[in-house]
Amino acid sequence: MSNHLQFYIDGAWVDPAVPNKLDVIDPAHEEAYTAISIGSQADVDRAVAAAKAAFPAFARTTKAERLALLRRILEIYNERFEDIAQAVSQEMGAPLAFAREAQAWAGRGHLESTIKALEDYAFEHQRGTTRVVKEPVGVCALITPWNWPLNQIVCKVAPAIAAGCTMVLKPSEIAPISGLIFAEIMHAAGTPKGVFNLVNGTGPDVGQVMAGHPDVDMVSFTGSTRAGIIVAKTAADTVKRVAQELGGKSANIILPDADFATAVSKGVEGCFGNSGQSCDAPTRMLVPLDRHEEALTIAKAAAERHKVGDPRKEDSVLGPVVSQLQYDKIQRLIRRGIEEGATLVTGGPDRPDGLNRGYYVRPTVFGGVTPDMTIAREEIFGPVLSVMPYKDEEEAIEIANDTVYGLAAYVQSSDIAHARRVASRMRAGSVYLNYPDWDTFAPFGGYKQSGNGREYADFGIHDFLEIKGVVGYGEA
C-alpha cells in the first residue's frame, strides 16, 4: 500500500489532520503521477510532540546502540537502493544512470561516512579538572531540498541519529517520494518510535511552523538563501540553533598553466551535472583573457556533447529541470544574458530541438561575461555556464570572491603548489583543486550568504551537539 498521502509520526503511518492533496509532477512529461498530503500546524505539533517524548530515552542510548541502528538503516537502504533511484529519476527528472550513481549513491555514501565518523567520535574529554561533554542538542527540524534529495536527507538524519537527537523531517514537496521511501527504510530498520518523524508540506505551511516551534531545539535547513533568511528570522524568536546550507555562485579559476582541454571540458561537465541544479556547481568559469576564445571553442564542443532527453532513455546525459517555475526562471536569465551583451556560444532560450514537452533546457554557454552582468551574479540553477575573462591572477581572485555567496570555489593548475596558494585566498567553504573525487569526509558548508554550520561525517555530528563543561569534575 502506498504511503504517499500519509505522514510518518511516532513510529506509524498516519493520515493528515486536515486532508489537503498536492499533485507530484513528473518533469519529463509535465504530468501528475501521484499526490502527497500537505501538512499543517496540527501535524507539526503531533510530530514534534512525538520527537520530544522520545528524546530523553534516545539521548541516553550508547554510541554502540546508535551505531547498530545506523548500520541497520544502511542495510535496508541498500535493499531499497533501486527503489530510491527510480523515485528520484521520476520526481526530479534525473537520468537513471545518474540517479543510481550519484543521487542514490550519495545517501549510501553519507551513511557509510557517518558510521565511520561515529566509530571514532569522542563525546567526552578531560581538560584539567573539567570534564568537557558533548550532548545531543534535542529535537531537530530538518528541512531538505529537491535537487539532491537523499544526499541532504541523509546528511541531516544520519548525524542527528549519531548525536542522539530526535527529529522531524520535511522533504521538498516538489520531490517528496524518495523521502517517503527513506521513512519506510527508517521504520524497517527498527528506529525507536518518535525518534524519526516525517511531515510533508510547503515551506510556509510546515517549514516555517517547524522553525518557529517552541519545542524544536535546532533547525537544519538546506535551500535557497531567500528561504534560509525566512527560516532564520522565524527561528530567532525562540533562540534556537540554526544550521544552513544555502545558495552559491561558484567560481572556477583556470590558471594559465592548466591543461585547457581537460580543465574547460571538465568545468562544463561540473556546471551541467544534475541539469545544473547543484548549489556548489562551478557556474562561473574564469579564464585568461588571451585564451578566452580558445576556452569558448572547447566549452562549446563539451556542451554540445550533453544530450538532453527523456531520463528513462539510456543515451540521455541531462534530463529536464525539476519544475515549470525553475524552467521559467532559467529561460528568463538566459534571455537576460543575451540582452546584457554576453556572447551566446551555444544553447540559448527555449527547449532543445525535438522536445516539445517537459522542462528541458538547452545546455548553454555564454562568453565575454563581465562581473556586473545578471548571469554572473544570480544563481541560475540550470545548465548555464558563464565564461569570464581575467587579465591576471589578482583579478581572477578578485572576481571569484566578488559575490554574496561563498559555498564553493574551484582552481585548476598543473602545479599543485600554485593551486594551493590560490585556494588559500578563496572565500568559500570548499575549494576543489583539479576536479577531485567527491569526498564525503570533507566538511561541506558555506561562507557569507551561503550559510553557516558544516555537514558530512564528524563535522555533521558536531553540529547536532551541545557542549557542556562539568567544572570541578576532578582528575579523570
3-state SS class at 440:
coil
Residue 245's nearest CA partner among 228, 230, 233 is 228
Q: What angle do CA 153, 159, 162 make, to 5 degrees?
A: 135
Q: Which residue has the cell 554510541?
A: 63
Q: Are 465 and 453 in contact (CB under 8 A)?
A: no
d(CA 294, CA 299): 9
Residue 235's nearest CA partner among 206, 211, 203, 204 is 211
d(CA 335, CA 366): 11
Known active-site residue 245: yes
Residue 261's CB: how many other CB atoms inside 10 A?
A: 12
From 140, 165, 271, 279, active-site residue: 279
Question: How far apart, in Å, do the first and last CA atoms of the chain sit?
Answer: 54
Residue 255's nearest CA partner among 280, 282, 284, 291 is 291
d(CA 213, CA 229): 17
From 112, 173, 245, 379, active-site residue: 245
C-alpha grid cell, residue 45: 505539533
Known active-site residue 271: no
3-state SS class at 408:
strand
Indicate the DSSP class of residue 102.
Answer: I
d(CA 66, CA 71): 9
- Residues known to be catalytic: 245, 279
